[in-house]
Amino acid sequence: MKESPLTSRRDLLRLAGASAFALMASRSFATTRDGGLRGAIDAGDYQPTPGAPDRKRVSLQKMIDQAAAENAPVFLPPGTYKASNLVLRENTRITGVPGVSRIVYTGGGNLFSAEKVKNIELTNIIIDGQNRSLGDDAGGLLQFTGVAKVIIDNCEIAASRKHAVRLERCGGRITGSRISGAGQSGIYAVESDALSITGNEVFDCGNGGILVHRWTKAADNSVVNGNRIYRIKANDGGTGQNGNGINIFRADNVMVANNHVSDCAFTAIRANSASDIQITGNQCQRSGETAVYVEFEFVGAVVSNNMVDGAANGISIANFDQGGRLASVTGNVVRNLTLKGPYEHEVGFGIGIAAEADTLVSGNIIEGAPRWGMQLGWGPYLRNLVVTGNIIRKTPIGCAVSVAEGAGAAIITDNVFQETPCGAVLGFEWDRKVSGELATAGAASRFAQLTVERNRIS
């Protein structure tokens, strides 16, 4: 007797498994037949779209208030909802259908705000600022203050006249979102509490991409990971406060990892007065100034395994004169630099890696630095540099090391210099060359603070 297609033991097990999976899925997702969330308050029930703008705002606000009171999510069916000055209450959760649930700002303040609540969640919605003016007291299209846990996930936020998202004293996460066209920055987070900013796309902003700042220097514990940031301008000018893809200011214990940052007017990743920072595994392309900058009052920095392709300077560990010290710069690739920068600089541009104090510079590759491969110290601001195992090629001068009065110790050993026609290791007093080649045997002996040994020149 021929076996039926549905009577074999294998097919029965397959059907049983499929049924069980379907049952689990129905319980897990808990959606209604028309795609809404089971138990959610549906915006369609409030008819927020028809009528005058103030009626739309009132309807959406009423819906948000009721949902928060009932601890229920708000579901926005596909469509466009026009509103402004919406206040998000405790446990507000608004979700839509990705790509088709759109909230459009109508002006007169900001779009969303929340203050001193524990939880706010926005997912799967498009937020359009339409480049309309924001109120004088509104720093961003979305402005949250003192929210313990902000979740912004899989949203599109566009065309804010100021910051797209402004967070103050908030924790939580911004993930998988697309943020563009902000007049100021895409994300501005100040005084954060272990905020995670991961997997976002931030582009075409007027003054910054992702900014993690503090009013006073302290532990911030934020993570900026896996974001794609590009075409960041510096419309308000300056010498580095604007035009950065990622900017960490006074925020300690921050990790900046695995980001792809390109075409920024100034710096791909800039850390100012940020101690115990890790900048690792980032792709930095076509930076207008220094690609990776660690500056001013920092103690402790790891800059490792970054790719820098195209910049005025590659990596700078600076400002020992203001307390900046203690860093490890390892495993980076720096190439295709230029002499042209966005302003006049006392040293000039075209430098691969610069470091000043208590720093290890090891295992890096520098190619095509049109001024110096490395700048080691500046005037008396040099202390305890170890420079070993690097490859420096196709640059006029391999290492420019400070031998000015007051300069401290530097060890330059086991490096490879290739195509450095003006010298592999030369001594400088500030910007003035004062020595011949120091990489040959015994040549550095006149400078007691220098150890220059076992370098290979070709």
Q: Which residues contact 33 (CB under 8 A, 6 or more apart)?
A: none
Could you say which DSSP state residue 134 is in? B
* Letter string b/e over residues 197-208, b meaning 16 or more CB atoms within 10 A of that residue's CB: bbbbbbbbbbbb
With residue 25 as reference, give the H or E element that holds it: helix 9-29
Residue 85, classed as helix, strand or coil, is coil
The C-alpha atoms of residue 273 and residue 291 are separated, in whole angstroms, by 17
Q: Tell me: the pLDDT tens digits for 88-147?
A: 999 999 999 999 999 999 999 999 999 999 999 999 999 999 999 999 999 999 999 999
Q: CA torsion angle for 269, 272, 278, 281 (degrees, to 10)?
A: 10
Give the mean model confidence (pLDDT) for residues 357-363: 98
Q: Tell me: the pLDDT tens digits for 253-280?
A: 999 999 999 999 999 999 999 999 999 9
Q: Tell me: the pLDDT tens digits for 2-30?
A: 433 333 433 433 333 333 322 222 222 23
Q: Per-residue confidence at 45, pLDDT binned at 50, 70, 90?
A: low
Would you say residue 186 has pLDDT above 80?
yes
Q: Which of 364, 234, 222, 262 is nearest to 306 (CA)?
A: 364
pTM of whole model > 0.95? no
pLDDT number for residue 40: 74
Give the mean model confidence (pLDDT) for residues 310-328: 98
Would you say residue 237 has pLDDT above 60?
yes
CB 212 within 8 A of CB 251: yes
How does the average pLDDT of the chain come out, rounded? 90
Give the mean model confidence (pLDDT) for residues 150-159: 98
The C-alpha atoms of residue 292 and residue 281 are separated, in whole angstroms, by 12
Which residue ranges form the domains of the chain, and what is each CATH number? 106-457 (2.160.20)
pLDDT number for residue 44: 62
CB 46 within 8 A of CB 59: yes
More confident residue, 33 or 272: 272
pLDDT number for residue 141: 98
Q: Tell me: the pLDDT tens digits for 399-423?
A: 999 999 999 999 999 999 999 999 9
pLDDT number for residue 35: 46
Q: Tell me: the pLDDT tens digits for 306-316?
A: 999 999 999 99
